[in-house]
Structure 1
Amino acid sequence: MDFEFSPKWLAVLFVIAGIVVVFMLMGGSLTQLFSASIEESVLVQIKEGDTCVVEASDGVPRTINNCPYQQGDNITISYKQGLPSLEAHQAAQ
């Protein structure tokens, strides 16, 4: 029995391989995508125009576009360890 991949399956395999390669080049791993979110209270370190920059305890700076906060404000952020994006942010209670 001769097994051949259809063009459709080859395309799916190439897409999956491409995603894995991109994550490897970025220094991340696929497990980071499925890890639990971290919630942390941080200060807004920089505000330039409508963009704020905060830095969590993992040392990764993260930006907030259309930022309603001021430099020095204490806010609560949700993020995944090592990834540069924020999942959520709100004024600290």
Structure 2
Amino acid sequence: MDFEFSPKWLAVLFVVAGFVIVFMLMGGSLTQLFSAGIQENVLVQIREGDTCIVEASDGVPRSINNCPYQQGDNITISYKQGFPSLEGHQSSQ
């Protein structure tokens, strides 16, 4: 039986393979991608305009756009370790 991939299936295969390769090169693993988020209390380290910068214990700086906090505020953030985006944030006070 002779089996050939259609151009559509080859495109899908290359996209999936590309995603896996890029993800591995960035040091990620699929367990990190689907793991539960971490909640942590942090201080707002920098506020510039309407953007705040916080840094969790994993050492990755994360930004909050349209930030309602002031520099030095204690807030609770939710994130996935090693990923630069925040899942959520709220005031700890």
- Do the aligned residues in 2 keep the contact of 1:50 with 1:67 (CA within 8 Å)? yes
Q: Could you tell me which residue of structure 1 aligns to residue 6 of structure 2?
A: 6
Aligned CA-pair RMSD: 1.0
Point out where structure 2 has 5 or more consecutive residues left out of the alignment: none
Aligned to 2:42: 42
Q: Hey, what's the Cα distance between the residues in 2 that align with 1:13 and 1:61?
A: 34
TM-score, normalised to structure 1, is 0.93
Residue in structure 1 matched with residue 28 of structure 2 by the alignment: 28
Deviates more, 1:26-35 or 1:43-52: 26-35
Matches for 1:53-72 after TM superposition, within 5 Å: 53-72=53-72
Aligned length: 93
> TM-score, length-normalised on structure 2?
0.93
Match of 2:92 in 1: 92
Unaligned runs of 5+ in 1: none
Does the residue aligned with 2:17 lie in a helix, a strand or coil?
helix
The 2-side partners of 1:48 and 1:25 are apart by 32
Q: What secondary structure, in the 3-state scheme, does the structure 2 residue paired with 1:15 have?
A: helix
CA distance in 1, matches of 2:25, 2:68: 34
Distance across 2 between alignment mates of 1:24 and 1:33:
11
- Greater than 6 Å deviation, 4+ residue runs: none
1:70, 1:82 → 2: CA distance? Answer: 25
